[in-house]
Amino acid sequence: MTDDVYQLTAAPLSKRLARGWHCLGPAARYADGQPHKVEAFNTQLVVFRTESGALAALNDFCPHMGAALSEGRVRGDSVACPFHDWRWGQDGRCTGIPYAKRIPPRARTRSWPLKVVDRVLYVWHDPERKPPPVEITLPGIEGFETDYADWSYSLHRIATNPRELVDNLVDVAHFFYVHGQGVNRLCAFFGNRFEGHVAWQILESEPHEGNYDKMQIGVAAEQVVGRRTETAYFGPAYLKSRLLIPFEDEMTENYIILAQQPINETEFDLHMLITTRKRPDLTDEQNNLRAAQMAEMLRMGTLQDVHIWKTKTRIDNPLLCDGDGPIYQLRRWYEQFFVNIADVTPQMTQREEIITDTRYAYEVWGRQSEERIAELEAAGISVPIY
């Protein structure tokens, strides 16, 4: 007898975590002259600002006898271990042992490369311990310092593997059911592009011909009909989304940075940073207030996936239908960050553009939406606007 029930498969999770830049939150958090403990990459780091103003990240556990340097103190340009006062510099070298005449030649710990983009700190993780390639950049926001409101920042610890989050980039159907709450149709146009270490998603909420190529990046806000988002992963763990959203009679231009930092293979910290382009006719205070309102709405929307992640299982062989986006292509692209550089295949990085035809689904979502609204109204529940 053949068993024709579809079998979900999932290989045991590897302990190997992605190669790439990972977010540690706003750089200002680490600038108070104290050493900070950061749980990440199946280990623990200490992050501190040296007296001369540089940010440093080292393995937290002291090579001498394993004490946590994050429990120590910053002394000059080094961190001093709380156990026997050995000092460790920004480059990981032991800079002094007050009670010893000589520093053992092997006294060196791991120093992690850091970079700050738009006031946010990122750390480079590579299981092969190679330095970050120069072409792997984290593009910031053009005009961030002058044209955008202050970041609205939040941190969320999420108990799942980051692949669940990354899958979202191509998961066209969940936008209606999860983010649109079965009421708001968000995807009249949906396209993805993979190339090198970058994976794009372009999404528009209204069907229209438009006088621009929808897969183009950087479409002017004035040209856009309805909502449009231009979103990309630059590497495995830094997602930058530009969201053009009509709100109270104006088109707002917003950015979300969604950047995860794995604690281990089953848990990650999700750093969410949101900002809105300032209106020149408003004061900075008014702009920050307006941005905070937008951020609250966008944050709520972005976190709607969390319940699904918490309650779903990991699946390597999703059973797809003709209305789905390119999940297998995305996962092949994502795979490049989990193999040695020498084993990255052309298939993982090749340019590929896929536009998912949403015309049929869009009609259906319209009918489902009407049914849902009727249900909500009958139950006296207000209809969610987003």
Between 124 and 143, how does the x/- string for binding to ligand FES read (CB under 6 A)? Answer: --------------------
Q: SS3 of 193, please? A: strand
CB of 36 to ligand FES, least distance (A): 17
168 binds Fe ion (CB under 5 A): yes
Binding segment (CB under 6 A) for ligand FES, from list 82-90, 135-143, 174-182, 286-294? 82-90
Measured CA to CA, the distance from residue 107 to residue 103 in angstroms comes to: 7
CA atoms within 13 A on the CB side of 229: 23
Least distance to ligand FES, CB of residue 327, Å? 47
Task: Note whether 41 binds ligand FES by CB under 6 A.
Answer: no
| Beta-sheet pairing, 238-247 with 36-40 | unpaired
Phi, psi of 309 (to 5 degrees): -60, -40
Query: Quick one: what does residue 84 bind among Fe ion, ligand FES, none, with the CB cut-off 5 to 8 Å set by partner type?
Result: ligand FES
- Relative to beta strand 352-356, strand 189-195 is antiparallel
CA distance 122 to 358: 36
Q: Pick from 29, 31, 44, 64 the residue near ligand FES by CB under 6 A.
A: 64
Q: Which of 30, 86, 153, 334 binds ligand FES (CB under 6 A)?
A: 86
Stretch that binds Fe ion, among 104-112, 161-169, 206-214, 234-242 (CB under 5 A): 161-169
With CB under 6 A, what is the number of residues at the site for ligand FES?
A: 9
Least distance between ligand FES and beta carbon 109 (Å): 10
The binder of 156, among ligand FES, Fe ion, none, by C-beta within 5 to 8 A per type, is: none
Q: Is 93 in the site for ligand FES (CB under 6 A)?
A: no
CA 298 to chain centre: 14
245 forms part of the interface with ligand FES (CB under 6 A): no
**SS3 category, 130:** coil
Starting at the edge strand found earlier in the chain, the sheet holding 55-59 runs 36-40, 43-49, 55-59
Among 65, 159, 289, 383, binds ligand FES (CB under 6 A): 65
Contact between 79 and ligand FES (CB under 6 A)? no
In whole angstroms, give the CA distance from residue 354 to residue 87: 53
CA gap 303, 208 in Å, rounded: 29
Sign of the torsion formed by the C-alpha atoms of 49, 54, 60 and 66: negative
Per partner kind, with CB cut-offs from 5 to 8 A, the member of Fe ion, ligand FES, none near residue 168 is Fe ion
* Token representation of residue 308: 């699904």
Assess 84 for contact with ligand FES (CB under 6 A).
yes
Residues at the contact surface with ligand FES, assessed by CB under 6 A = 62, 64-67, 81, 83-84, 86
